[in-house]
Amino acid sequence: MQKRQLGNSDLQITPVGYGAWAIGGSGWQFAWGSQSDNDSIAAIHRALELGVNWIDTAAVYGLGHSEEVVARALKEWSGPRPYVFTKCGLRWDAKGEVSKVLRSDSIRREVEDSLRRLKLDVIDLYQIHWPPDPDSPELEEGWSTMADLKGEGKCVGSACQISMPSKSAAQKPSRRLRRCSRRTR
């Protein structure tokens, strides 16, 4: 399968990856319903056999369960390790209710929790999930923390999923967002 450079990173990824949202299973706010962990692991292995070289998950998928299933699949996989992408910024409480949090202390807890669940030393791409408004001070704090994590070797790259509300907003990204993106390159 062909590979392409991901942005300005050194990552060479296949045009198709494995999305692990559904394998988080049921029992949480954005669940897809019950999933068999064994079937999920078999699906990941099949995708890797077909040449896919990256898996995208998130801490919030299944309230951590998706990352645990990905870790099991990687442990049982005998081929080259695929890139693992995961996300921060969505936290859950004891009731499983999800909220957006981009404070530095939260992101630092999240990265450590994700590394533990994934059984990895480093995350290949760490993303901000459902970010706040691009001019938000919380986004600035989140980006700064992500840049620090990259410098500390916790992640290879970092990214932010941005939804622009209008064409004019897309043409003029905020000054803060431009500054943050330059810092993470």
Given the residues 18, 61, 83, 126, the one annotated as active site: 61
CB neighbour class for 53 (10 Å; exposed up to 12, middle 13-18, buried from 19) = buried
* Interacting residues of 52 by C-beta distance below 8 A, sequence separation 6+: 1, 14, 16, 17, 18, 82
According to DSSP, the β-strands at 4-5 and 12-13 are antiparallel
The neighbouring-strand residues paired with 155 are: 123
The string over 66-96, giving b where at least 16 C-beta atoms fall within 10 Å of a residue's C-beta and e elsewhere, is bbbbbbebbeeeeeeebbbbbbbbbbbeeee
61 is catalytic: yes
CB 70 within 8 A of CB 55: yes
* Interacting residues of 143 by C-beta distance below 8 A, sequence separation 6+: 128, 158, 160, 180, 181, 183, 184
Residue of 175, 136, 142 lying closest to 159 (CA atoms): 142
Give the catalytic positions in this structure. 61
